[in-house]
A and B are shown apart, each in its own frame.
Chain A
Amino acid sequence: MNSKIGYLIAIALLLVAPLLIYPVFLMKLLCFALFASAFNLILGYGGLLSFGHAAFFGGAAYVTGHAIKVWGLPTELGILVGAGAACVLGFLIGLLAIRRQGIYFAMITLAMAQMVYFLFISADFTGGENGLQGVPRGTALGMIDLQNNLNMYYFVLAIFAIGYFIIARAVNSPFGQVLSAIRDNEARATSLGYDVDRYKLLAFVLSATLAGLAGATKTVVFQLASLTDAHWHMSGEVVLMTLLGGLGTIAGPAVGAGIIITLQNYLASGPLGAWVPVVLGVIFVICVLAFRRGVVGELRELMRKSF
């Protein structure tokens, strides 16, 4: 009940927000909130630290940009193609990565993503260092002009809502329960007869696909895809967003993304512009040392204690 009211308030806020806040900034926030929420599926619920999610985010960004700009696909279809590409990439990298656990899993995903990054640098269709620019926003459903920032915002909000709904459903389904069981005790899950690897792979692919959805949407908003999207710093940032917001909480990653994006935006225009990586690093260190539950996790703990 409580969470229902929370959701209603959140929806109401999101609907009126663009009237008060710059819509492009809000769209960026939504894209990263979706990205972090998708990432949380594999780290928070699956217990697997992927350090290579930028490959899916960036891969989908490029494919969508190419599909819309060069192939001339309609915007919605372009985004779906991008997410589909992330799905395939997630399957390939996932197959390799789930062969090892824990720290090795992190290093393998990182290394594979770095390989993908190098491929993007030298591939022709990405435009290398220049990025893939001038992607037209097009129209939604063939009639709503997305060049208008407000229209674009509600389009992005709809995609975010769909993605978020899928994640929330997945987490609360039997699939999500098994995933958490694997995270907590893999051996026990195996002995209960679950095909652990298949669940992990499925979670990884789902996470990759939704991360791709976020990246694809981001391309349409900013009308470009660039190497930044695929760089390992991006992988690190999404870990930070999730960690800061709260691992394994459904709303946490979105909150974390909100904080980080706002902070980056705020710092970039101020005198501390050059210190952004340092500030992010410091937040990382503080989170790990003293704040492992994250914002939402701590709030929840506070509520639990006081009621």
Chain B
Amino acid sequence: MKLFKALATGVSAAAMMASAATAEISDGVVKIGLMSDMASVYSDVAGQGTVVAAQMAIDEFGGKVAGAPIEMVTADHQNKADIAANKAREWGDTGQVDAFAELVTTSVALAVFEVAKQQNKIALVSGAASSPLTNDACIPTGLHWTYNTRALAVGTGSAIVKEGGDSWYFLTADYAFGEALQRDVSAVVEAEGGKVLGAAKHPFPSSDFSSFVLQAQASGAKIIGLANAGGDTVNAIKAAHEFGVVAAGQKIAGLLVFLPNVKSIGQEVAQGLQMTVSFYWDMDDETRAWSEKFYEKTGAQPTGIQAGTYSAVLHYLKAIEATGSDDTDVVLAKMREMPVNDMFAKNGKLRTDGRMVHDMYLAEVKAPADSKDEWDLLNIVRTIPGEEAFGPLSESTCPTK
């Protein structure tokens, strides 16, 4: 036994020496290229807050990993795939960037995936939501961290069907993200025995939803599912209230809602709204402590996208620390091997299709009277186990899984 242990130690020491000899930090610096929407539709759910979050992860390492300094470069992709692709390519070609981070909106994530695939660099996706990112559109180095449309469907969709909301009509943003969300939710609704009566596609973005709400009303569905995000969701919910749709007995299901959106809708209107979140600042001591630091820097509580960015960058740095290398394949292998454990995720598991599987949460917006302050907005109703939220690996259609 003793011999065996000594042998094992010797072997692992030799392995470590070997890896120390072959693996090193390229260019003597670990560089993360973070791209987000800094000024447009998603700037307050992602944006500058993700830069702060990533910096917090870097600061936890004291700015150095495996003896090399950590640098971060940032850019505003303005939600434009071409700007993102251009910037990512430039960072990879000339800027010594080792990994791309954040990448809100599906179009941007897909564009950066193309570049990351060609350059064999890691992409840490937090903000983009479409489930195809780890299915048909997956790449070997693309990691989808925070959430996806399937998890939203499983969380909010099935909870609502179980409460008796078994007939649905969708208001769907007329582009791939909306369609992905509608598809994923429809699948869940039908699997649970519910019915989908129809859908109205609306232009993206739309400011006035009243006419789409009227169509939804005419459908007679119990649930009006909002397969959209950001301002579209906010506007649709307001219109539904104004036209007495809610008062007449139909319920609204917001399928992708963020904390700042709840503030936009106004708690009076939003109360009782169910939403699936990857993170809420007021979950436990750890999240509260981290969020407090975040709040000091930004003046707002973090969204799931922001917290997820922190977690992804932190895990990436941990893997570099553990391997002493910033080589993509080495780091990737280590990231998959180590469980993700931080204030965002508990025992998260990074799968070979790129999906980071972690628990999600079903939350409900509090009534104004129950809130202690302006950010005390949600009650966590249920924890959705990671496997249930994201499905088993066998379901993934990723060709390289």
Contact = CB atoms under 8 A, between A and B. Distances in A.
Interface string B357-391: 00000000000000000000000000000000000
Given A130-B175, A268-B76, A269-B73, A226 B82 contact: yes
Interface in B50-106: 73-76, 78, 80-83, 85-87, 89-90, 93-94, 105-106
B334 to A, nearest CB: 29
Given A22-B93, A25-B90, A129-B106, 17 more contacts: A22-B94, A24-B89, A25-B86, A121-B175, A122-B174, A129-B173, A129-B176, A129-B177, A130-B81, A131-B110, A133-B107, A134-B114, A229-B82, A268-B76, A268-B83, A269-B73, A274-B39
Given A22-B94, A118-B203, A131-B111, A224 B81 contact: yes
B38 interface: yes
A51 B175 CA distance: 25
Contacts of A269: 73, 75, 87
Interface string A117-150: 0100110000111110110000000000000010
A194 interface: no
Contacts of B89: 24, 222
Given A130-B176, A131-B110, A273 B75 contact: yes
Given A129-B204, A268-B83, A224 B76 contact: no
B175 A228 contact: no
Given A133-B111, A224-B114, A274 B38 contact: yes
Contacts of A127: 176
Interface in A213-270: 218, 222-224, 226, 228-229, 268-269
Contacts of A224: 81-82, 85, 111, 114
A28 interface: yes
A233 to B, nearest CB: 10
A39 B359 CA distance: 53
B339 to A, nearest CB: 32
B85 A223 contact: yes
State the 10 A-B residue pairs at the shortest beta-carbon distance, nearest first: A129-B175, A128-B175, A273-B76, A274-B39, A131-B81, A226-B81, A228-B80, A130-B107, A130-B176, A274-B38
A31 to B, nearest CB: 11
B82 A149 contact: no
B81 A22 contact: no
Nearest to A277: B39
Interface in A262-307: 268-269, 273-274, 276-277
Contacts of B110: 130-131, 133
A229 B85 CA distance: 14
B76 to A, nearest CB: 4
Contacts of B111: 131, 133, 224, 226
B227 to A, nearest CB: 13
Contacts of A24: 86, 89-90, 93
Interface of B: 38-39, 73-76, 78, 80-83, 85-87, 89-90, 93-94, 105-107, 110-111, 114, 173-177, 201, 203-204
Nearest to B106: A130
A224 B107 CA distance: 11
A149 B93 contact: yes
Contacts of B105: 129
A273 B111 CA distance: 20
B173 to A, nearest CB: 8
A130 B74 CA distance: 22
A226 to B, nearest CB: 4
Contacts of B82: 131, 218, 222, 224, 226, 228-229
A274 B79 CA distance: 12
24 contacts: A22-B93, A122-B201, A129-B106, A129-B204, A130-B81, A130-B106, A130-B176, A131-B82, A131-B111, A133-B81, A133-B114, A222-B82, A222-B86, A226-B80, A226-B81, A226-B111, A228-B81, A228-B82, A268-B75, A268-B87, A269-B73, A273-B75, A274-B38, A274-B39
B72 to A, nearest CB: 12
B81 A223 contact: no
A218 B86 CA distance: 11
Max chain B C-beta neighbours (<10 A), residue from A218, A222, A229: A222
Nearest to A264: B83
B90 A22 contact: yes
A232 to B, nearest CB: 14
A274 B76 contact: yes
Contacts of B39: 273-274, 277
A223 B80 CA distance: 14
A226 B79 CA distance: 11
A218 B80 CA distance: 14
Contacts of B93: 22, 24, 149
B89 to A, nearest CB: 6
A121 B107 CA distance: 13
Contacts of A228: 80-83
Contacts of A218: 82
Nearest to B110: A133
Given A121-B204, A130-B106, A274-B76, A28 B83 contact: no
Nearest to A229: B82
